[in-house]
Amino acid sequence: MRRITHFIAGEAYSANTSRTSDVFDPSTGQVQAQVELADAAVLSQAVQNAVAAQRSWAAMNPQRRARVMFRFKELIESNMDELAHLLSSEHGKVIADSKGDIQRGLEVVEFACGIPHLLKGEYTEGAGPGIDVYSTRQPLGVVAGITPFNFPAMIPLWMAAPAIACGNAFILKPSERDPSVPMRLAELAMEAGLPEGILNVVHGDKEIVDAILDHPDIKAVSFVGSSDIANYVYGRGAQNGKRVQCMGGAKNHGIILPDADLDQAVADIIGAAYGSAGERCMALPVVTPVGDAVAEELRKRLVKEIASLRVGIATDPDAHYGPVVGAAHKARIENYIQMAADEGAEIVVDGRGFSLQGYEDGYFLAPTLIDHVKPDMKSYQDEIFGPVLQILRAQTLEEALSYPTRHQYGNGVAIFTRNGDAARQFASQVEVGMVGINVPIPVPVAYHSFGGWKRSGFGDLDQYGMDGVRFYTRTKKITQRWPSGGAVIDQSFVIPTMA
């Protein structure tokens, strides 16, 4: 059976350990590989190599680092098909969606190609008598990223590309459920000219996460995953003096006003709710129609569209989405569907019990639609992370606005309307980090930044964009004066000013 090792100092690295985790094919339910789980000793080996390589990488001028990023971008593009099939085989998302996963990460690599401009500091000539002040951005040293299973290409690239371009060495701890794409990306980075030790990949579980959070030579940690673990990572990392950014869970709402283009809204909601089997932190699992007439019409149209959806294996070109990632996750989703029924919600379309002929052991769930959900239901309060769409009805825009605002998560929200004033009011008042206006999945482009509020985001800086550059650098401020000869300035025991 195929064995997936670590990637340290530019090559595969095996710890020859008996601690491994099975990697499944979600379409068949069969084990296809085993991945080694690292311990603190493996991490120490990775950090040692990273420390040794980072200083000369940081000393390289930003334009040369950018050239490596350009070549890395070209290699990802030329290997897109291979990467997408590898990703789909371990995650389960359909090939087209896997290519989208890679493309959104690639866009951050493109952004990182502009690092010479992004690292420019500020300069003030004549801030005082013969005094100039300027600032520079310098890398932190060795930094780390801990990434989830649902985007095994995009999120590692969100973190690694800006971190490395800024002059840091990067240690990636990807999900052990789908580890092959991160390994392949590391190989491509080496082919692009990245020096040995600048990008390392270590696989593992909580043991390696704690080792990362405790290692004194790792200066910053970026994390994406569930909110409970994000809170843990943020607290432990900050307690150890690290810079930490953590993105957590989500429960994104789609608000449908009576004047919305319902045809477009339904098409958008179907894709946002069920795409990638709902395993996206920016999925849209709650729709809030305003008014009973809108709710009834929306429900009727959703039921019709759901009936046309095709669930299939990852390589089925006609499938709208594939299996969920694992058996335990499938059972968890099914439990939430039953919970909603027990709480008094109406299961309009039940996706449980679905079986795909020839792939009966795969982790498949058909689309589920639940109506008459109430805000006090646990099935609404929690993140389900599956192909489940809940209808939470409202009578006014103010009521609809209150639901995402009061929710524990504040990742994304969307409003569908033709009314610019209502959209502007909503965008201004809703307490959510990313807002879409007639856009169902409002993930910002690579030159902005990604991040939610409340229990969806821990830390002061978001992912990628200029926030990514700020996170992976620290600013040094220099105040300089060059003597020009002449009289010596008298000593002063007063705080210096520029008066």
Catalytic residue positions, numbered:
281
How many whole angstroms separate alpha carbon 187 and alpha carbon 283?
A: 31
Q: List, in order, residues 6 or more apart from 495 with CB less than 8 Å away.
A: none
Q: Are 437 and 427 in contact (CB under 8 A)?
A: yes
Structure tokens at 486: 């002449």
Q: Tokens 């504040």 — which residue?
A: 410
Strand 243-247 with 218-224, pairing: parallel
Strand 253-256 with 412-416, pairing: parallel
Of 27, 35, 45, nearest in space to 4 by CA: 35
- CA 342 to the chain's CA centroid: 33
Q: Are 108 and 151 in contact (CB under 8 A)?
A: no
Q: List, in order, residues 6 or more apart from 462 with CB less than 8 Å away.
A: 245, 433, 449, 450, 451, 468
Q: List, in order, residues 6 or more apart from 206 with CB less than 8 Å away.
A: none
How many whole angstroms separate alpha carbon 342 and alpha carbon 377?
A: 10
How many whole angstroms separate alpha carbon 480 and alpha carbon 466?
A: 27
Q: Are 286 and 251 in contact (CB under 8 A)?
A: yes
How many whole angstroms separate alpha carbon 311 and alpha carbon 363?
A: 11
Structure tokens at 168: 């840091």
Q: What are the CB-based long-range contacts (under 8 Å, 24+) for 326-334?
A: 326/24, 326/26, 326/177, 326/363, 327/29, 327/363, 329/363, 329/385, 329/386, 330/363, 330/364, 330/365, 330/386, 332/386, 333/365, 333/384, 333/385, 333/386, 333/387, 333/388, 334/365
Counting Cβ atoms within 10 Å, is residue 12 exposed (0-12), middle (13-18) or buried (19+)?
Answer: middle
